[in-house]
Chain A
Amino acid sequence: MAKAKVLLIIFMFLIIQGSLIPFLNIGARQPDLLLILVVCLSILWGSKKGAALGLAAGLFQDILYGQALGIFALTKMLAGYLSGFTEKNIYKDFVLGPMLIVFLLTFLHEGLVFIFSEEVTRLSLMYILLNAILPKALYNFCLTPFVYLLVYFANKKNFFYPIQ
């Protein structure tokens, strides 16, 4: 049941990201809600569950929106796995920690996507860094509190039991 809830939330976030966020984008820049979700839950659940969550979320993203299967699965799995290491080293009641982690992992996530995609052969890394990755990192940084507080209180209420 908890897995179904997680899947449902992943799909919800995917649908919101694909069908709602394009209407709310700022200067053609879009946040990665799914990445924020993966990182936030990974901070709460640890690296193993975070990696699994990232893998599942990324795979669904690949299926729904990606070109080649595996790109987002790989990048999000890594993001979930790495952010899960902070589970025991972060003060979870303070939202700034997850915000900074999301900000940093956005660079890793987007950088890997840039490398795995064919864009790497056409565009310079610096250009992508300044024009695509940095704005997205800032956007994610700003949206993290909303997602983190949502999953934090859901987790506190044992909404994801027994996964959590």
Chain B
Amino acid sequence: MLTPMYKKKKIITILLILFFLIVLMSLTNRERDRLTIVEDIIISAVSPFQNAVFTASAQVRDFVELLQEYQYLAKENNRLTETLGNYKGISNEMEEIKQENKRLREMLDFKDRSDHTLMPAKVIARDPSNWFNTVIINKGHKDGVSKDMAIITNEGLVGNVLSVSRHASKVLLLTDSLRAVSGTVQESREMGTIGFVEGFVDEPGYCRMVNISQDAEINDGDVVVSSGLGGVFPPGLVIGEVIEVGQDEYGLLKYALIKPAVSFNRLEEVFVVKSAGDEFLSEKEIEHYEEEFSQEEEWEEHESEIPVEEEIEREEMENGYLEESIDNRRIE
């Protein structure tokens, strides 16, 4: 079968072109000093457009890279913020530990200074319905805690143990309305009773000292401490500071509004007073002191009968003795 003439021509043309191209390849496949005029014209004509497209493409690429970089920076920023958050957490934790350390040091110092046998405890919960008045501590009867033991901090009186379980105890705070503590003004030694301020809803957490006699010396700023009567709370524990003094509703007695020394809403570590040494008075001791008190009264009555001259002489001798002892100390 013969190939048509036009097809032969076509194939021959293609072959010729191929041959020409191969020759061209072999001729140009070497380093040339100069381009041909045709190449020069074509390249010169196209290069501005290439330049424009390349520049635009480069700008687009830069923009895309900028966006990618922005995304990277945003991610980096998020990551760093997260890391910073972690560091903040660590920092807060460290601050927390520092504060705890400080508190514990203060408590330790207080424990060393205290005459009482103290057992440290940690507040582990607050009554959510009425968190102001009861808290749970992490010591129970296994640790030697028993009902009515006093709970204190280095700031002052907190409350007493209301109920005891195996490893935890519920503490009734000083501010609870069930609470009644015998208190006394530190300077004037005026006696009264500390109770919760009922009706003072605008000022929760304050106490009221009631049953204070009309002629008692009690003023704003006076410090009220526990008197030790009742046998629950050791004497001398700071209850709070008087911020207001007024007449009761019948006008017969005074009352004092007291700001507690302890920050009840920030309670974290407390002490359970396991024993109060010799500060609590037994019944025999109370009888003994009553006898002494009556003897003192008799002595005062007797003293009033001593002539004035003898008393002056005795005072002078005493003063001389005191001066002499001061001089001796100066010489030493």
Contacts and interface: CB of A to CB of B under 8 A. Distances in A.
B29 A68 contact: yes
Interface in A45-83: 48, 51, 55, 60, 63-64, 67-71, 73-74, 77-78, 81
Interface in A4-47: 11, 14-16, 18-20, 22-23
A26 to B, nearest CB: 14
B34 to A, nearest CB: 14
Contact of B46 (A51, A55, A64, A71): A64
B40 to A, nearest CB: 9
B50 interface: yes
A107 interface: no
Nearest to A66: B28
B38 interface: yes
Q: A14, A23, A55, A71 — which one has the most chain B CB atoms within 10 A of its CB?
A: A23
Q: B10, B29, B60 — which one has the most chain A CB atoms within 10 A of its CB?
A: B29
A48 B10 contact: yes
- Secondary structure of the A contact surface, majority rule: helix
A51 B14 contact: yes
B50 A68 contact: no
A19 B25 contact: no
A69 B24 contact: yes
Contacts of A15: 46, 49-50, 53
Interface string B41-52: 011001001110
Interface stretch (B15-23, B110-118, B188-196, B321-329): B15-23
A18 B17 contact: no
Q: How big is chain B's contact interface, by range? A: 20 to 34
Contact of A16 (B27, B29, B53): B53
B21 A67 contact: no
Nearest to A69: B28
Contacts of A22: 57
B22 to A, nearest CB: 7
Contacts of B22: 70, 74
B54 interface: yes
A116 interface: yes
Contacts of A23: 57-58, 60-61
Contact of B49 (A11, A48, A70, A116): A11
Contacts of A14: 46
A74 B57 contact: no
B53 A77 contact: no
Contact of B28 (A20, A70, A74): A70
A69 B25 contact: yes
Interface string B24-37: 11111110000000
Contacts of A78: 18
Contacts of B25: 68-71, 74, 116
A19 B53 contact: yes
B287 to A, nearest CB: 103
Nearest to A47: B10
A114 B51 CA distance: 29
Given A19-B53, A19-B54, A20-B57, 13 more contacts: A11-B49, A15-B49, A15-B50, A22-B57, A51-B17, A55-B17, A63-B39, A69-B27, A69-B39, A70-B21, A73-B24, A74-B21, A77-B17
- 7 smallest CB-CB distances across A and B, nearest first, come from A68-B29, A70-B25, A19-B53, A70-B24, A19-B54, A70-B21, A69-B28
26 contacts: A11-B46, A11-B49, A19-B51, A19-B54, A19-B57, A20-B53, A20-B57, A23-B57, A23-B58, A23-B61, A55-B17, A64-B43, A64-B46, A68-B25, A68-B28, A69-B24, A69-B27, A70-B22, A70-B23, A70-B28, A73-B21, A74-B25, A77-B17, A77-B18, A78-B18, A116-B25
Interface of A: 11, 14-16, 18-20, 22-23, 48, 51, 55, 60, 63-64, 67-71, 73-74, 77-78, 81, 116
